[in-house]
């Protein structure tokens, strides 16, 4: 593995990239080598919640499932927050039960996510994907044990440079999500912002990957 893409909806099957591909319970592709699976808050269907959770519980027991998610909370959608919290908490408890990391979608609900982590005593790694906020919030997340993944907004918003530079090297990941950029391009920008070489970023993210996902990179 030369590059790790922490969250993507597009499987490219490049031999030098390990991609953590987002999957949904009702649209599962068994041909994806490494995946996360979860109920995104946008796509909660209350009538099939139990069956979706059963599918997730089955799939996360596979060795090539690296994480639960993306799941989380979003205050800018019409789905009631109490239902979103219920679905999010059930997925966190599954992640805790099977010792899987969690990829989190969070929009305007960071304090709620932090409090839920505390109240449920979640100890598995939790990764906030697609971070786009300020340095103060980033520090609060880091202080509460979260990892932060950057991609789409890092590529499009130069003001995130100082935020990204403030993140401890052992607590960040990189991703492409849905953008038409390669993970190599994201690594190149990250290296520039961190005043490192791409090779140094690769080495750091391999270490972060091993720490969070507990898979021997040399076997991939």
Provide the annotated binding site for a divalent metal cation: 70, 105, 129, 177
Residue 66 CB-density burial (10 A; 0-12 exposed, 13-18 middle, 19+ buried) = buried
3-class DSSP state of 58: helix
Tokens of 2: 């030369």
Binding residues, by number, are: 70, 105, 129, 177
Rg (CA), the chain: 16
Phi, psi of 24 (to 5 degrees): -115, 150
Dmax (CA) of the chain: 50
As a whole number of angstroms, the distance between CA 64 and CA 131 comes to 25
CA dihedral 133, 134, 137, 138 (to 10 degrees): 90
């Amino acid at each position: 593995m030369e590059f790790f893409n922490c969250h993507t909806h597009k499987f490219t099957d490049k031999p030098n990239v390990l991609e953590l591909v987002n999957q949904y319970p009702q649209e599962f592709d068994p041909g994806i080598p490494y995946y996360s699976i979860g109920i995104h808050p946008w796509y909660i269907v209350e009538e099939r919640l139990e069956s979706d959770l059963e599918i997730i519980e089955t799939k996360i027991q596979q060795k090539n499932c690296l994480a639960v998610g993306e799941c989380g909370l979003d205050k800018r959608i019409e789905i009631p927050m109490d239902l979103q919290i219920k679905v999010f908490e059930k997925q966190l408890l599954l992640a805790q039960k099977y010792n899987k990391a969690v990829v989190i979608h969070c929009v305007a609900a960071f304090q709620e996510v932090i409090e839920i982590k505390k109240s449920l005593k979640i100890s598995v790694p939790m990764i906030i994907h697609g971070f786009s906020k300020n340095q103060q919030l980033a520090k609060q997340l880091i202080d509460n044990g979260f990892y932060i993944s950057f991609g789409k907004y890092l590529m499009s918003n130069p003001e995130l440079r100082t935020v990204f530079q403030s993140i401890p090297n052992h607590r960040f990941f990189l991703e492409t999500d849905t953008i038409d950029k390669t993970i190599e391009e994201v690594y190149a920008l990250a290296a520039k912002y961190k005043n490192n070489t791409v090779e140094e970023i690769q080495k750091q993210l391999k270490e972060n990957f091993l720490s969070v996902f507990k898979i021997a990179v040399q076997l991939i």
